Amino acid sequence: MAIRFHALANPARFLRFARRALPWTAALAILCIAAGGVWGLFFAPPDKFQGESVRIMYVHVPAAWMALFCYLCMAGTSAAALIWRHPLGHVLARAAAPIGACFTLLALGTGMLWGKPMWGAYWVWDARLTSVLILFFFYLGYIALSNAFDDPGRGARAAAILALVGVVNLPIVKFSVDWWNTLHQPASIIRRDGPTIDAAMLAPLLLMILGFTFYYFAVWILRARAELAALRTRALKLRLLAS
C-alpha cells in the first residue's frame, strides 16, 4: 500500500489513476446508498425500544464513521507531506478536509435529531457528542489555517501540524462510551462478541457505510483534481508575473 501511495506522487500518474477510479467509486456509491437507503428506511423493521426513530441510524452511523475515517485520511496524507515530502500529501489533505467537516456536521445533526426523542433534548454534553464537536472544530481549524497565509506552503505545513495534533481526539471519540458513563449507546457493530444488531438492520446499515465510503472517495478524487488545477493556475500566473 505504501509503495502504491508513493507511486502516485507524480501528479500526471495520479490524474490517470483518478480518471479510471472515479466512475467506479461514483457508481458504487450510488448503488450502495440507493439500495441501503431504500432497504433501511422502508423495509428494515423498527427497533423494539426506539421505534421508527431508529431509522436515523442509517444516516447517522455512516456519517459518524466517515467523520473519523476522513480525519484519519487527512492526518495520514499530512504526515506523508511533512515526513516524506510527498508531493500530493498537502493536496490530498486539503481535498479531504471539507468532506470530513460535512460528514461530521451531518453526524452531529442526525445525532441531535435522534437525541430529542431518546434523551428529551437535542443536545447534552455527553462525552461522545462533545468529542465529535471537538473533531468538527479540528476540521474547521485545518481549513482556516490552510487558507490563512499568503504563502500556500506555510499554510499547508501549519494545517498539517494541526491535523496531526487532532489525531489524539480520534481514540477519545471512539472509546468515550467505554471510558466514561455516557448517555450515548455503546458500540453495536465492532465488538469482541460480535454485532448486537439484528441482521435485518445490520445489512442495510453496512450497505450505507459502504456507500458513504465510496461517495467519499469519489468526491475526494474530484476535489484533489480541482486542487491540482488550482495549483497549476497559480503557478502559471506567477510565471506570467515574473516574465
- Amino acid occupying residue 86: H
- Amino acid occupying residue 56: I
The predicted-structure confidence for 81-97, as pLDDT tens digits, reads as follows 999 888 899 999 999 99
Contact present, 59 and 111 (Cβ < 8 Å):
no
- Residue 207 is predicted with a pLDDT of 97
CATH number among 3.40.50, 1.20.120, 1.10.3470, 2.40.30, domain 23-238: 1.20.120
C-alpha neighbours within 13 Å on the C-beta side of residue 159? 32
C-alpha cell at 32: 450502495
The mean pLDDT value for 13-19 works out to 91
DSSP at 205: H
- Residue 6 is predicted with a pLDDT of 56
Please give the distance of CA 172 from its chain centroid, rounded to a whole number: 16
Contact present, 208 and 9 (Cβ < 8 Å):
no
Contact present, 126 and 182 (Cβ < 8 Å):
yes
Q: What dihedral do alpha carbons 31, 32, 33, 36 form, nearest 10°?
A: 120
pTM for the model: 0.91
For the chain, give the percent of residues with pLDDT over 90. Answer: 60
Nearest to 39 by CA among 210, 200, 209: 200
* Domain residue extents for the chain: 23-238
Q: What is the mean pLDDT of the chain?
A: 89
